[in-house]
Copies of this chain bind each other. A is one copy, B any other.
């Protein structure tokens, strides 16, 4: 039975995710590098803003940080309770997860790599998807805490598997983004009405998450709101490449897409949304996707 839950990292995702925990658990600790945010969270949602050592004493500790590097930094600073479970929601590196799990196992602590999808709206509505790697019994123990924030929660394999699925998901999304940019640039060059074409494609076999959401809402609208930063997508595509290299596989379309996302990122302004990657194609074709 989970008595206490901690949440480390109150960014756009973590802040909203941790808000659901007090509805289900008595002791909910929050910690953030900038502690003002933790205090604000406590005031707003009835959580407890504590220091890092206190947070680390919870039964289940969630972390949601920019990269696996920040998770390593935190892990090296804390002492954990035997039998507790660390659930890392960072979009992290599979290889790091394996090392982190091994490191914590020596302290009789479980590590689950448990990245999420669903964006801030999913965090707000507790409808996130959790793709989890690690030990089956630890997964089952931590499940009620994840269920407080998510809807679809799957154990996809051993340590690192959750991060791998997240990286591949984002990589596939990047491929779909390039396909959409190339396809719709071509249609516009031939005088096709893009909105009508999009309606047809979204009712046909060529649809994707990108054509259903990013294309109409962020790209055709020319708004490009910052929901998922392009450098983070570039990072995730790099993780996918490392997975392919490690297994000595051939993945030509993914490889090419990674090069293009990297190039788009190199040319983009800071704080660009991932959807601005289409501007790489727009610069080549002198065509604006709208």
**Among residues 163 to 204 in chain A, which have CB atoms less than 8 Å away from a CB atom of chain B?**
164-165, 168-173, 175-176, 178-180, 182-187, 189-193, 196-197, 199-201, 203-204
Contact with B along A213-251 (1 / 0, CB 8 A): 100000000000000000000100010111111111111
Q: Does A78 contact B (CB under 8 A)?
A: no
Question: CA of A203 to CA of B283 in the docked complex: distance in angstroms?
Answer: 32
Q: Which residues of B contact A205 (CB under 8 A)?
A: 117, 169-170, 173, 209-210, 213
Q: Does A260 contact B (CB under 8 A)?
A: yes
A247 and B189: CB pair below 8 A? yes
Question: CA of A187 to CA of B205 in the docked complex: distance in angstroms?
Answer: 24
Q: Does A253 contact B (CB under 8 A)?
A: yes
Residue of B nearest to A154 (CB): B196
A197 and B250: CB pair below 8 A? no
Please give the distance in Å from A63's CB to the nearest CB on chain B.
Answer: 20
Q: Does A6 contact B (CB under 8 A)?
A: no
Q: Which residues of B contact A186 (CB under 8 A)?
A: 164, 168, 240, 243-244, 247, 249, 251, 254
One of B151, B154, B168 near A187 (C-beta < 8 A): B168
Number of this chain's copies in the assembly equals 4
Q: Which residues of B contact A240 (CB under 8 A)?
A: 183, 186
* Chain A interface residues (CB < 8 Å from chain B): 94, 117-118, 129, 131, 151-152, 154-158, 160-161, 164-165, 168-173, 175-176, 178-180, 182-187, 189-193, 196-197, 199-201, 203-211, 213, 234, 238, 240-260, 262-263, 266-267, 281, 283-286
**Shortest Cβ-Cβ A-B pairs, 4 listed:** A169-B206, A117-B204, A189-B247, A208-B208
Question: With A161-B191, A168-B201 given, can you name 14 additional A-B contacts, CB distance below 8 Å?
Answer: A117-B203, A152-B199, A154-B200, A156-B197, A157-B190, A158-B191, A161-B187, A169-B205, A172-B176, A172-B201, A189-B247, A207-B208, A250-B260, A253-B253
